[in-house]
């Protein structure tokens, strides 16, 4: 069978076929804001589904009305699969340590239960929609395939696919159901739940079996570690079409896990980007070609790291565009796209606090009370935004929802706009302004780089006072609390400010080495010599974790190779370009030449920790 994306015939065939399907029906998505709740699980990116939608929206491939929002599954629904005793034990964190790989705090546990119950609700909604509307339904969550009737496993508390199937059965649906599980891990939970059900075939291709219980209708293929495209495809080609012809499914649920990807943070396979795209296209084509036009639901399943959204986005964009290959951007760039898209409808007059009809100032409550300083000029942040306008923007851009998602129900802003050192915006987690989450001091700057106007970030603090330092997230110099996890979001919002005020970019001087490291994906040192020095330092500290590196610098363990002098952190300005001309300067040949020349002059070595 000739189906690979890399062969021109394959692309054409799939494309033509798929267009006609699309023309008939159209695709719908299922996603909930709750999925983006931060949960402490290593390498799991809660914003995966949201990023996929942002990318599709940016390419005008999905509209808000195409996204359905599920409710958390009821206890009644969960009981269709899960044992009463197990459900009753879910509020005890010690019980769940094995499932999750760590002992969750009660707050974290509550959050996890909400996220996963909503995912069960999402898969239930997806199956219902697929069967009633005959559309392709993509659930940007779910695929919790390890959960059993009486226990969780591998981070899965509930088996969403099993509950959704049980719910359809209770509603009277009798069709044959094929579950295609292409997550890198074994779909053992789903297989065990349906082991004695001849109407559900579970198909799983995985690294190693988690369970060897026999099932009436199951295909289980273990391929071992290090699998490449060829091995993967030949297994799929050998096994999957045969299941379609023998079992003749009427509903297909596809767990399109992206952890087989070579780029996955936890997977052990080497499937290429093209390979994953071809795999997903292959499954779609099998469904389309199958006798009886089976319905199809896709769920996300596994995929780890900040880039786990990209294979899914690539595939869905290919599908929705009728076969075009649209390469997803880097994750940081996507964050910016996401906010730009949301910022489009923001009205300049409302941001500035000018009433449209009156053409007059509309003062916020704080301004009326005189809390933000007297005088018209000082009542604007950066001579532009009214306090109310800032709050409005943060609300509409979804930023305040991210704060609420972290358990701070009443995010409250506070402005200090008439201070000579810069204007300060503070974000508190409570109405009484006791819990400080963020503090930003900014001003417009024309001196740092002659001929350019920059947004100077004099001070930026983002902290979560309710979180604790852990082995994975240790305390860094200058930190009282762990971070809020919103640095890139904040940087994107500041770039939107530059867009609106026509500033050339952001300038920020990191007071500590670790701040420069955390910013380096987004910012570069303004002067090429400083960039070169930072790179040399980074090179010397390479073998260490960020926390160890910060400590090594404080202990003066980095020395100049030639002189033996210890190297200190020297705060120097970093910039993030917003305008084309600043970008050209920062990425231009002059800058590069200077940086390369300077780089040769910095030779640093790391000295071992003193014996205690
Ligand atoms: Zn997996």
Beta bridge partners of 443: 456
pLDDT grade, residue 476 (50/70/90)?
A: confident
Q: Give the range of the structural domain holding residue 204, as residue numbers without chain letter.
A: 8-328
Residue 96 lies in a domain: yes
Same domain (yes/no): 399, 316? no
Residue 82 pLDDT exceeds 70: yes
Ranges of H-type helices in 290-346? 309-320, 331-343
Q: In the prediction, which pLDDT does 521 show? A: 82
- CA distances to 351, 354, 360 from 367, rounded to whole Å, are 15, 14, 14
Give the residue-averaged pLDDT of 538-550: 90
Domain end marker among 328, 362, 385 = 328
Same domain (yes/no): 265, 375? no
Residue 497 pLDDT exceeds 60: yes
- CA dist., res. 298 & res. 301, Å (int): 9
pLDDT in tens, 200-246: 999 999 999 999 888 999 999 999 999 999 999 999 999 999 999 99
Same domain (yes/no): 409, 376? yes
Same domain (yes/no): 273, 161? yes
Distance 90 CA to ligand 1 centre (A): 22
Distance 478 CA to ligand 1 centre (A): 37
Distance 264 CA to ligand 1 centre (A): 10
Give the residue-averaged pLDDT of 540-547: 89
pLDDT in tens, 61-71: 998 899 999 99
Distance 457 CA to ligand 1 centre (A): 41
As residues whose CB is below 5 A from the ion ligand 1, the structure lists 183-185, 259, 302
Considering only CA atoms, give the Rg of the chain.
27
Same domain (yes/no): 341, 479? yes
Same domain (yes/no): 49, 192? yes
Nearest in space to 218 (alpha carbons), one of 235, 227, 205: 205
**Count of domains in the chain?**
3
Same domain (yes/no): 54, 75? yes
Nearest in space to 259 (alpha carbons), one of 311, 297, 208, 210: 311
Residue 532 lies in a domain: yes
Domain end marker among 289, 309, 328 = 328
Same domain (yes/no): 519, 460? no
Distance 583 CA to ligand 1 centre (A): 40
Distance 301 CA to ligand 1 centre (A): 7
Same domain (yes/no): 494, 567? no
Residue 598 lies in a domain: yes
Same domain (yes/no): 351, 461? yes
Residue 597 lies in a domain: yes
Looking at every residue in the chain, the average pLDDT score rounds to: 88
Same domain (yes/no): 102, 241? yes
Distance 257 CA to ligand 1 centre (A): 6
Residue 399 lies in a domain: yes
Share of residues in the chain with pLDDT > 90 (%) = 68
Domain end marker among 281, 307, 328 = 328
Q: In the prediction, which pLDDT does 370 show? A: 45
Residue 157 lies in a domain: yes
Nearest in space to 205 (alpha carbons), one of 104, 275, 148: 275
Residue 326 pLDDT exceeds 90: yes
Helix (H) or strand (E) holding 235: helix 229-247
For 423-453, give one letter per residue: b (16+ CB within 10 A) or e: bbbbbbbeeeeebbbbbbbbeebeeebeebb
Residue 1 lies in a domain: no
Q: In the prediction, which pLDDT does 68 show? A: 97
Decide: 558 and 552 in contact? Cβ < 8 Å.
Answer: yes
Residue 3 lies in a domain: no
Residue 423 pLDDT exceeds 90: yes
HEC assignment per residue over 275-299: HHHHHHHHHHHHHHHCCCCCEEEEE
Distance 467 CA to ligand 1 centre (A): 27
Same domain (yes/no): 193, 245? yes
Q: In the prediction, which pLDDT does 469 show? A: 81
């Amino acid at each position: 069978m000739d189906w690979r994306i890399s062969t021109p015939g394959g692309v054409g065939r799939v494309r033509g076929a798929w267009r006609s399907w699309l023309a008939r029906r159209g695709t719908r998505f299922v996603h909930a804001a709750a999925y983006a709740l931060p949960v402490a699980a290593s390498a799991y990116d809660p914003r995966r589904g949201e990023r996929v939608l942002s990318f599709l929206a940016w390419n005008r491939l999905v509209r808000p009305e195409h996204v359905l929002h599920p409710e958390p599954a009821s206890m009644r629904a969960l009981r269709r699969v899960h044992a009463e005793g197990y459900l009753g034990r879910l509020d005890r964190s010690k019980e769940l340590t094995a499932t999750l790989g760590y002992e969750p705090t009660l707050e974290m546990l509550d959050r996890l239960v909400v996220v996963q119950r909503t995912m069960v609700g999402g898969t239930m909604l997806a199956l219902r929609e697929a069967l009633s509307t005959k559309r392709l339904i993509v659930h940007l969550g779910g695929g919790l395939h390890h959960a059993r009737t009486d226990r969780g496993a591998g981070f899965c508390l509930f088996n969403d696919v099993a509950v959704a199937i049980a719910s359809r059965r209770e509603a009277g649906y009798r069709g044959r159901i094929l579950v295609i599980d292409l997550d890198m891990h074994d779909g053992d939970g789903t297989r065990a739940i349906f082991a004695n059900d001849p109407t559900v075939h579970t198909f799983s291709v995985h690294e190693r079996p988690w369970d060897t219980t026999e099932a009436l209708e199951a295909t289980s293929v273990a391929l071992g570690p290090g699998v490449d495209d060829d091995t993967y495809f030949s297994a799929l080609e050998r096994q999957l079409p045969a299941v379609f012809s023998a079992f003749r499914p009427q509903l297909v649920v596809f767990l399109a896990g992206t952890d087989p990807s070579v780029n996955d943070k936890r997977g052990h396979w080497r499937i290429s980007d093209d390979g994953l795209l071809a795999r997903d296209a292959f499954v779609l084509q099998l469904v389309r070609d199958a006798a009886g036009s089976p319905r199809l639901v896709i769920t996300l399943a596994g995929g780890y790291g900040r880039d786990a959204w990209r294979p899914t986005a690539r595939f869905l964009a290919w599908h929705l565009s009728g076969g075009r290959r649209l390469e997803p951007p880097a994750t940081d760039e996507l964050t910016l796209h996401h906010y730009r898209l949301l910022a489009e409808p923001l009205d300049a007059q409302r941001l500035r606090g000018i009433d449209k009809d009156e053409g007059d100032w509309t003062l916020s409550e704080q301004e009326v009370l005189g809390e933000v300083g007297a005088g018209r000029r000082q009542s604007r942040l950066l001579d532009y935004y009214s306090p109310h306008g800032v709050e409005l923007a943060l609300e509409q851009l979804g930023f305040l929802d991210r704060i609420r998602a972290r358990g701070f129900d009443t995010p409250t802003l506070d402005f200090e706009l008439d201070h000579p050192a810069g204007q300060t915006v503070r974000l508190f987690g409570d109405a009484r302004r006791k819990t400080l989450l963020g503090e930003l001091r900014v001003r417009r700057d024309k001196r740092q780089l002659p001929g350019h106007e920059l947004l100077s970030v004099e001070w930026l603090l983002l902290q979560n006072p309710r979180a604790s330092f852990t082995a994975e997230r240790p305390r860094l110099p200058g930190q009282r609390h762990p971070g809020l996890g919103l640095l890139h979001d904040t940087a994107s919002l500041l770039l939107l400010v530059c867009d609106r005020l026509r500033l050339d970019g952001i300038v920020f001087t990191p007071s500590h080495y670790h701040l420069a490291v955390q910013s380096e994906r987004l910012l570069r040192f303004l002067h090429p010599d400083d960039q070169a020095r930072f790179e040399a330092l980074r090179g010397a500290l390479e073998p260490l974790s960020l926390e160890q590196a910060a400590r090594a610098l404080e202990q003066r363990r980095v020395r100049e190779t030639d002189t033996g002098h210890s190297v200190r952190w020297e705060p120097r300005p970093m910039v993030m370009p917003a305008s084309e001309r600043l970008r050209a300067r920062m990425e231009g040949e002059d800058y590069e030449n200077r940086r390369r020349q300077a780089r040769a002059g910095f030779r640093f070595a790391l000295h071992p920790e003193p014996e205690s």
